[in-house]
Amino acid sequence: MMIIGDRFPSIGFQDEPLFENLEGGIYTIIVNDKNGCSPDTTLQISVIQFPKFFTPNGDGKNDTWGVKGANKIFYPNSSINIFNRFGKLVAQVPIDSQGWNGTYNGKTLPSDDYWFNIQLIPADTSKSPILKKGHFSLLRR
C-alpha cells in the first residue's frame, strides 16, 4: 500500500495498512499485489483535522481557519459555525471555502480564543455524522 496526499509526496509502498501521524487532508491510497496478479486499486480517504490556531497576517501560512480534510465530496451537508468568547456567532464557513479570515462584517477581530460548532454529514450514509465542538486561537502579531 502507498498513500499520496495533497500536501506531501507519497510515503512509498509498505506491507502494513496503517499510516500514522497524517495531517488533515484528502489522501489517495494505492493498493497493489506484490505478485502482480491484479491491477492496482485506489481509494480516496478524508483525514479530518481541526486546527488549534491560525495567524491571518497575509504571509500565506495559516491565514485562515477551516476544517482540514473535509469537502463537499465527502461531506455534502455541513455546517461550520464560529463564535467569540461571549457566544456571538461571528462566522459561518462553507465547507469548500478557504476558511475563516478572522473578520466579522468586514472588521478585523482581535487575537483571542474562538469556539466552533461543526456538523459534517457524510456522503456515505452508512457512516455516522461528525459532530464536534472545540476552540482555537486567532493570533495577530
Q: Do residues 113 and 130 share a domain?
A: yes
pLDDT higher than threshold 90 for residue 68: yes
Write the pLDDT tens digit of every residue in 29-58.
888 877 777 778 888 889 999 999 999 999
Residue 9 reports pLDDT greater than 60: no
Contacts 24+ apart (CB under 8 A), 84-90: 84/109, 84/112, 84/114, 84/115, 85/112, 85/113, 85/114, 85/115, 87/115, 90/114
Each residue of 105-128: pLDDT tens digit? 999 999 999 999 999 999 999 999
Say if residue 62 is in the same domain as residue 32: no
- Domain hosting 100: range is 50-138
Between 5 and 62, residue with greater pLDDT: 62
Q: Count the domains in the chain.
A: 2
- Using the 3D structure, point to which of 15, 30, 46 is the last residue of a domain: 46
Q: Are residues 63 and 117 in the same domain?
A: yes
9 and 61 assigned to the same domain:
no
Residues 96 and 29 in one domain: no
CATH of the domain at 69: 2.60.40
60 and 120 fall within a common domain: yes
Same domain, 74 and 32: no
